[in-house]
Amino acid sequence: MNFADSEILASILKDKYNTTDNYAEADLILVNTCSIRDHAEQRVFNRLKEFTALKKRRLGMKVGLVGCMAERLKEELLQSGLDIDLVVGPDAYRNLPHLLEEVESGQKGIDVLLSTDETYQDIEPVRLGSNHVSAFISIMRGCQNFCAYCVVPYTRGKERSRDARTIVNEAGNLFRQGYKEVTLLGQNVNSYHAGGGNFAALMARVASVDPSLRVRFSTSHPKDLSDELIETIASYPNICKAVHLPVQSGSSAMLAKMKRKYDRKWYLDRIAAIRARIPDCGISTDIIAGFCGETEEDHRQTLSLMREVGYDAAFMFKYSERPGTFASKNYPDDIPEEVKLRRLNEIIQLQQELSLESNRKDVGKNFEILVEGVSKKNDAQYFGRNSQNKVVVFDNPCLSDGKRQVAVGDYVTAKVESCTPATLLGRLADKA
Ligand code: 5AD
Ligand code: SF4
């Protein structure tokens, strides 16, 4: 989400600023921040120290803090002893040019008003991703699920959906510019609703832009992953067969405490519904270890659910108490740090095994992959992803004219020959 928001920021400022890859030569640095865990915030404070040191050497350079931390900490940031010129919340980006004028005249610029209708829907983002193959499209903002542990509803405000026509237009424009894949983004895309249309209907419209435009989405909440959406994913070949479905915990008692609005049985039923209709679907999740009051038995339930689902991938975190949330006000953060860490490590270890198991099943199979770039380790190897969102690395030999056999942005078929827990290693079969 923040990456997509940075593209909106770049667009709002494009008349005044170009972007640069080298922050040491920047006139303005905007740090787009995340408040989801304390660790994310600490990293931002470290970066800010670096930037404010640079500021002393580069007269006139401005530093702004934008996004969720700006929203959460507000004026506190300007009194923090760090040399920050601007503090701008996620719904106030249109006000940036004006705030920058205030900064030019020697004041601090601050705007942390949340909005009930801002979606930036008319703003064509400046694409900061370099591969020109895959792009994000933000389809909604905010969240009002109020999971007990989560700060997002406080920093990003009420849920609101962007008009479908503007989303389909953006996808069409990207396709005409040569993009081959779009990812529709929101905190909870399945509750997308605009002009009478739901998320399944929106997906169908975006998938109809062109059969060679891949469509992905992130992220969905298990409580409203509908059969209709599963059916839509199944029926369009260009909607990728990958669902990210954050479970958070495998224990129904923890899920109730987390205010997730589903239990273990409901979640497993949704997984069964996906597998029944889309047997080859990639399934990934988010897990929190050590939430308030979590017992060893609750933790074992998480491990057993992970085995039962057989996730292809997972993002795994230690619980981090966030000020202002329901959990912070009502439950003690009572799992000792070393217990959280041990449980997290067990979860990570298990996921490594599950990922390897899942990847081993793919050895010998052919996949259509969209080539996304050159491998970091070896420039004779390229990589792309299959529909299930797995990364496939393959040799891409030079031809006699000096060109590589396939180019970034091509659809190719690769046969998987071996794997690691993180990657499939394949061989080019032919050019699709
Ligand atoms: N502590 C740890 N992890 C969290 N997440 C959200 N809030 C917290 C928190 N307070 C995780 C959830 C969510 C992902 C984006 O971040 O797993 O799905
Ligand atoms: Fe946070 Fe829950 Fe909303 Fe996800 S659905 S952003 S975890 S409150």
Report which protein residue has its CA nearest ligand 2's atom 4.
187
Ligand at shortest distance from the CA of 187: 2
* Ligand 2 centroid from CA 146, angstroms: 6
The per-residue pLDDT for 81 is: 85
Ordered by start, the domain boundaries in the chain are 2-111, 129-240, 248-262+269-361, 366-428
Alpha helices in 58-145 (DSSP H): 68-73, 96-104
* Ligand 1 centroid from CA 93, angstroms: 25
Provide the 3-class DSSP secondary structure of residue 225: coil
3-state SS string over 239-268?
A: ECCEEECCCECCCHHHHHHCCCCCCHHHHH
* Ligand 2 centroid from CA 142, angstroms: 9
Phi, psi (deg, nearest 5) at residue 374: -95, 140
* Ligand 2 centroid from CA 242, angstroms: 20
Q: Which atom of ligand 2 is nearest to the CA of 219?
A: 4
Print pLDDT tens along the chain (432 aa).
999 999 999 999 999 999 998 999 999 999 999 999 999 999 999 999 999 899 999 989 999 999 999 999 999 998 888 899 999 999 999 999 999 999 999 999 999 999 999 999 999 999 997 789 999 999 999 999 999 999 999 999 999 999 999 999 999 999 999 999 999 999 999 999 998 899 999 999 999 999 999 999 999 999 989 999 999 999 999 999 999 999 999 999 999 999 999 999 999 999 999 999 999 999 999 999 999 999 999 999 999 999 999 999 999 999 999 999 999 999 999 999 999 999 999 999 999 999 999 999 999 999 999 999 999 889 899 999 999 999 999 999 999 888 999 999 999 999 999 999 999 999 998 654
> Hey, which of 71, 72, 150, 267 would you mutate to test ligand 2's pocket, going by the most ligand atoms within 8 Å of its Cβ?
150
* Ligand 2 centroid from CA 149, angstroms: 9
Contact criterion met (CB below 8 Å) for 205 and 162: no
Q: What's the chain's length in residues?
A: 432
Q: Which atom of ligand 1 is nearest to the CA of 320?
A: 1
Contact criterion met (CB below 8 Å) for 215 and 237: no
The per-residue pLDDT for 430 is: 61
How far, in Å, CA of 226 to CA of 244, rounded?
14
What's the CATH code, domain 366-428? Answer: 2.40.50.140
- 147 in contact with ligand 2, CB cutoff 6 A: yes
* Ligand 1 centroid from CA 362, angstroms: 30
The model carries a pTM of 0.96
- 150 in contact with ligand 2, CB cutoff 6 A: yes
- 187 in contact with ligand 2, CB cutoff 6 A: yes
Q: Which atom of ligand 1 is nearest to the CA of 327?
A: 10
Amino acid at position 9, single letter: L
* Ligand 1 centroid from CA 1, angstroms: 14
- Tell me which residue of 301, 293, 297 sits closest to 319, measured CA to CA: 293
* Ligand 1 centroid from CA 89, angstroms: 20
Architecture of domain 129-240: 2-Layer Sandwich (3.30)
DSSP 117: S
Q: Do domains 2-111 and 248-262+269-361 have the same CATH topology?
A: no
The per-residue pLDDT for 15 is: 95
What's the CATH code, domain 2-111? Answer: 3.40.50.12160
Pocket of ligand 1 from Cβ distances under 6 Å? 36-37, 149-150, 246, 248, 286, 288, 317, 319-320, 322
What's the CATH code, domain 248-262+269-361? Answer: 3.30.750.200
